[in-house]
A and B are shown apart, each in its own frame.
Chain A
């Protein structure tokens, strides 16, 4: 376990990998918030912020969905800001980032086939993205025009735990193999 932690620390202490993980985390967070509708259009230009509802920060509006506490308007975009939604998105984004970088490291090792581990980050993206899409405004389903929102809504409570489980398991396996192979 200590060896795995050392690999993780080494991964995060390299500027290149840290930058890659941070980039993936930020991109994923923005994508998740956009899919859940926290970030959307409707802005009227300029920049403004208002935080009138901090008391609702812990109030849930759906499975793993929390009430926004403030409105951040920037150009054409509006962000209904919920600290917990953002934190949740960032945690999954971080896990996705570390998974992908760990998979990349394994792939770069000459002695083993890292395909399984490398793809785990990408495979884990699927439930994570679905968790983002299965919100009260099923934008993707409207775009695609498929009458399957009933099915997605039914499994929505499971999507986030499944995403976290796959990402954590994927990371554990990748770190375990990197440790074994003396990364």
Chain B
């Protein structure tokens, strides 16, 4: 009898203690997702491949440290992933992120994950809530599959929708990050902080194992071949051609980087909705907007500041997330993508 009482007492205390342990909340999500999903979850699951390293074999940076811009040891042409959130600017050098792929950070009081996949040339930001994201070691369409440490659900970075785990079919909340150069970012945000090499891990941060972006070579050269299989091939452009992609529940659209640079403002219709993508010559990227009133935007009248793009008509537009990607990866995730390329002069 005494033994039974002891057992039940121990069990009660254990359960009581367990309930006091902090349970990580799942990441903020959208159900249904606000982005297109071109394949069934089963098709995505069948297309998952091992990338080589195991789970967390590519370690995320969970305690990032920063220095001021004046203390940074970067060259003007070095690629960085820039974040400007609630008045706070931060730059994450590509040569550090190529070894870690995910930074679990807090910017402007919000818990954010800055993610980068070197194999698809994509940088995206996700709200992470109280949890963190890690690198699963798996790939789909050559793209990083992240996992969240609260539910262990698996999220391909470009898709932003869980394809496995308890949160399957739900979408993550995104925020804008900028794929640009250190020179351009520093000019736009002189007060920016910069991620340091003090990551808690030992890596050769002076070397990119895949090649170089300044100028593009190795794996990043436009004509170079992809390494992993994809669900859909599209050979309209060389695989690593950079496109600026925008997604909405109606579908996906891509504009070649060259067309965006040349045209300045590109108006497109997706389903029945009008979208306007504006080229930012300073950061050499795009700003995407939903344009319900079909407002005509003139590039010459626009200003680009730390807060974003401003000028006549901009106030009536609704910002939409967009990001650069290698063409092969964009076409693999979105085989029905609308494509805007440079129009040949007659």
CA distance A37 to B52 in the complex (A): 14
Closest to B209 in A: A137
Residues of A34-68 whose CB lies within 8 A of B: 37, 40-44, 52-53, 56, 60-63, 65, 67-68
Q: Which of B57, B211, B226 meets A62, CB within 8 Å?
A: B57
> Does residue A153 face the partner (Cβ distance < 8 Å to B)?
yes
Interface contact B51-A40, CB-CB below 8 Å:
no
> Does residue B49 face the partner (Cβ distance < 8 Å to A)?
yes
Interface size on B, residues (CB 8 A): 30
> Does residue A83 face the partner (Cβ distance < 8 Å to B)?
no
B30-38, B166-174, B199-207: which lies at the interface: B199-207
Closest to A148 in B: B227
Residues of B175-230 whose CB lies within 8 A of A: 200-207, 209-211, 218-219, 224-229
B residues near A52, Cβ cutoff 8 Å: 202
- Interface size of A as a range: 35 or more
CA distance A138 to B200 in the complex (A): 24
A residues near B292, Cβ cutoff 8 Å: none
> Does residue B286 face the partner (Cβ distance < 8 Å to A)?
no
B residues near A40, Cβ cutoff 8 Å: 204, 207, 209
**Chain A: residues with CB nearer than 8 A to chain B?**
37, 40-44, 52-53, 56, 60-63, 65, 67-71, 78, 80-81, 134-139, 141-142, 145-150, 152-154, 156
**Chain B: residues with CB nearer than 8 A to chain A?**
49-54, 57-59, 137, 139, 200-207, 209-211, 218-219, 224-229
15 A-B residue pairs with Cβ-Cβ distance under 8 Å, sorted by A, are A40-B204, A40-B207, A41-B207, A42-B206, A53-B200, A61-B53, A62-B53, A62-B57, A62-B137, A137-B210, A138-B227, A141-B227, A150-B228, A154-B49, A156-B52
